[in-house]
A and B are shown apart, each in its own frame.
Chain A
Amino acid sequence: GAVVSQHPSRVICKSGTSVKIECRSLDFQATTMFWYRQFPKKSLMLMATSNEGSKATYEQGVEKDKFLINHASLTLSTLTVTSAHPEDSSFYICSARDSYNQPQHFGDGTRLSIL
């Protein structure tokens, strides 16, 4: 149980393109979803937290207009990297949980490469 599916697993695109990443909870209702970013040989950095039907809460230093998050249903959240540039290249990982007292479960990540 507690499976989180993330798609696509790998994206390579040109600078200036917008890229959408999907995160789905397959066997539970994800009341809260999280988006993380991880640079090579570094730890995961939380970008934003979203509750179903509400606007996302972004961590300090994360541009909300650059990283658009939508959490329209209890099983789906999307992260759109708008007008992506090479410095946005990273490993993006989503996470979900169904309630405060449950563990967060993670997707397998999306490796984004901007040329």
Chain B
Amino acid sequence: DAKTTQPTSMDCAEGRAANLPCNHSTISGNEYVYWYRQIHSQGPQYIIHGLKNNETNEMASLIITEDRKSSTLILPHATLRDTAVYYCIVRANTGTASKLTFGTGTRLQVTL
């Protein structure tokens, strides 16, 4: 899997939008961008994924640049419960390369 680069940590005020960046400059044409988060002492939770178009669901929005070398996960109205480690992972959707390899992620702290 292509490697990703994320900031180690970020802070966000409750109620504000949290914008988490991710660089994946070596992404291949068949690799998707996946976002997961891990709240302390729990298993990772799937958030969203996309290939090249922007995506939105009930949890978040994913903005992928036109060259696909970077993306941003947006939590529109962060709450204290969104405090977690957020992982950006690129993964092919076919064959043996389609497994998730976790990096170190971004530790998001949502504050009052």
What residues make up the interface of A, taking CB atoms closer than 8 Å to B? 2, 4, 6, 34, 36, 43-46, 49, 57, 91, 93, 95, 100-101, 103-109, 111
Contacts and interface: CB of A to CB of B under 8 A. Distances in A.
Interface size grouping (class) on chain B: 20 to 34
| Interface residue SS majority, chain A | strand
12 contacts: A6-B43, A43-B87, A43-B103, A43-B104, A44-B38, A46-B100, A46-B101, A95-B44, A100-B93, A105-B46, A106-B44, A108-B43
Contact of A49 (B49, B93, B99, B102): B99
Given A100-B93, A101-B93, A103-B49, A93 B99 contact: no
Nearest to B98: A100
Contacts of B103: 43
Contacts of A100: 93-95, 98
